[in-house]
A and B are shown apart, each in its own frame.
Chain A
Amino acid sequence: MANKTKLSLQNVSISYNEQVAVKNVYLKIASGKVTSLIGPSGCGKSTILRSINRMNELIPNCKLTGRILYDGQDIYDPKIDPVEVRRRIGMVFQQPNPFPKSIYENIAFGARVNGYTGNMDELVENSLKKAAVWEDCKDKLKESGYSLSGGQQQRLCIARTIAIEPDVILMDEPCSALDPISTLKIEETIHQLKKSFTIIIVTHNMQQALRVSDFTAFFNAEPTQDKLGGKIGYLVEVNSTDKIFKNPLQKETKDYISGKFG
């Protein structure tokens, strides 16, 4: 792979309340590409995603070992400010979560927080255009973000993230709460966005991974040894999406892709 590495996870393990959720992940994310994380539920793919911009720290008793390098800098170094990390690594969530403010303010808020001093109207318009939602809301910028449909709300959230001009965008199953048509539109948006951003997307929909991503990482889970019924997630393999879906190296991957489990 000749691609420049944007993020590098080195032996990352994450646990909640002393219970290991995902262990020993080594993963490199290529710069300017779309990488999708797939796997059965409970395999820790969302957990890994949230650790990349330190959102997992909002959950009490969450512990991470190993290193996550962002352009060569360990973002879990005690000297690093998590807020600065999140300004460069933005996130779009599973449920559309616009702020209870106007559409305009939803975009402007993040930009203002990040000290944006340029033309706000222009930024709002550009961000909404890039997220392919401008046509839907250009006439009602002053209305509440909740006046939009679910799919439009999600694209508003993407626009909000784009507005802070991050380097990397994390998407946590962005289409799971949406209908097929909205999903298609979000996927088109992702295709547009990968020209400017490095994108990591968690999805439970393999077809979506195939459609949008350049690289795919497959995670799986194994039951824990104790009888609590917990699961420990681990990374099985990562490769170009083409290879993962057509010619995976591991049997587990092949079984999952062909629908034998999960």
Chain B
Amino acid sequence: MKTEQKNKFSLKLRPSYEKWMDKGFKNITTVMAATVAAVLITILVVVFFESREAINQYGINFIVTSDWDPINNKYGAFTAIYGTIVSSLAALIIAIPLGLGTAIFITEDFFPEKIRFVIGLMVELLAAIPSVVLGLWAIFVMEPFIRPFFNILHNYFGWLPLFSSEAVGPGLAPAIIILSIMILPIITSIARDSIEQVPSKLKEAAYGIGATRWCAIIYITIPAAISGITGGILLALGRAMGETMAVTMIIGNSNQFSLSLFSPGYTISSLLANQFGEADSIQVSSLMYAALILMIMTLIVNVMAQWLVKKLSLKY
């Protein structure tokens, strides 16, 4: 019987090494997946652990004061926190209409598809340009070009605290411009994807009852795509808050607090990039404390982005 079967049909039991490999492969991939959690936890633990000394020493004062005095060992990150929030929100205010407008423009048939494809491609390639190259461009090309316009603002609206100082070089305002350029592609491409996912039958329905093109866009397409658009905006905000190189190169790196957008300032990430190399002891700890604050801020924004996308997503 046994030999008969062997001849007819070479069905045999799986060799043990194969079972071992099957199981081993699963275990390896599980470990690799767990690595993500390990990396994330390590980052949190390291930053928290390293910043303990500064947290104990300065506590909440660190957030509300602006000293950065290595001689007397007094550190406060208010200017950097303010700069992070103001620069990223201002960049968002510039980039949202531009990004959304571009997304609508390349999803509607105003122009032949080829032209729209090229515009979309260019916006996406903008996202690929390394931050440090944008910083270089900002220093030597963008900022000198835009400075006269800032000074026009200063001349006419100088009574506003935001424009109260003369623009003489690097500062918050050029950093805001470069940040808005950097987050524009994120908003555009996510908004475009969400708009393209809106079923065309909804648009047809709107046209079918006599809606104009923009009526359909504003009242049907955008509301249907709003979850993705909001998520994209929040992701862009998170990106803007953490962006380092271009900002460091153009923001002026000053811990002197000023309300004026044309004065030099700091963001947390530029503070880190600028100071970390020469820091020791309590200053390192203070920088880690600032990093912890930055991480918590971006974490909140990113979690909110994910939560909103889930909550707002509509069924079609």
Contact = CB atoms under 8 A, between A and B. Distances in A.
Q: Do chains A and B touch in the complex (CB under 8 A)?
A: yes
B211 A93 contact: no
A259 interface: no
A90 interface: yes
A88 B109 CA distance: 24
A-B interface, 10 closest residue pairs, ranked by CB to CB distance from nearest? A87-B210, A110-B209, A91-B208, A97-B201, A86-B210, A97-B205, A100-B314, A113-B211, A83-B212, A164-B209
Contact of A99 (B113, B202, B212, B315): B202
Interface stretch (B141-149, B218-226, B232-240, B248-256): B218-226
Contact of A55 (B109, B113, B208, B220): B208
A23 interface: no
Interface residues of A, number: 31
A132 interface: no
A110 B201 contact: no
A95 B204 CA distance: 11
Given A60-B109, A100-B224, A109-B219, A55 B204 contact: yes
B109 A113 contact: no
A224 interface: no
Interface of B: 109, 113, 199, 201-212, 215, 219-220, 223-224, 314-316
A87 B207 CA distance: 9
14 contacts: A53-B208, A58-B207, A83-B212, A86-B207, A88-B210, A93-B205, A97-B199, A97-B204, A97-B205, A109-B220, A113-B209, A113-B212, A144-B315, A166-B210
A6 B194 CA distance: 41
Interface string A87-120: 1101111010111110000000110011000000
Interface in A120-173: 144, 146, 157, 160-161, 163-164, 166
A90 B208 contact: yes
Interface of A: 53, 55, 58, 60, 83-84, 86-88, 90-93, 95, 97-101, 109-110, 113-114, 144, 146, 157, 160-161, 163-164, 166
Most B CB atoms within 10 A — which of A60, A84, A86, A97?
Answer: A97
Contacts of A164: 209-210
Contacts of B314: 100
A141 B215 CA distance: 23
Given A100-B223, A109-B219, A58 B204 contact: yes
The CB with the most chain B CB atoms within 10 A, among A58, A95, A100, A110, is that of A100
Contacts of B201: 93, 95, 97
Contacts of B316: 100, 146
Nearest to A95: B201
Nearest to B201: A97
Nearest to A113: B211
B215 A161 contact: no
A166 B210 CA distance: 10
A86 B208 contact: yes
B202 A83 contact: no
Contacts of A91: 204, 208-209
Contact of B220 (A93, A99, A163): A99
Contacts of B224: 99-100
Contacts of A101: 223
Contacts of B206: 99, 109
Contacts of B211: 83, 110, 113
Contact of A110 (B203, B210, B223): B210
A86 B209 contact: yes
A127 to B, nearest CB: 11
A223 to B, nearest CB: 29
Contacts of B209: 86-87, 90-91, 109-110, 113-114, 160-161, 163-164
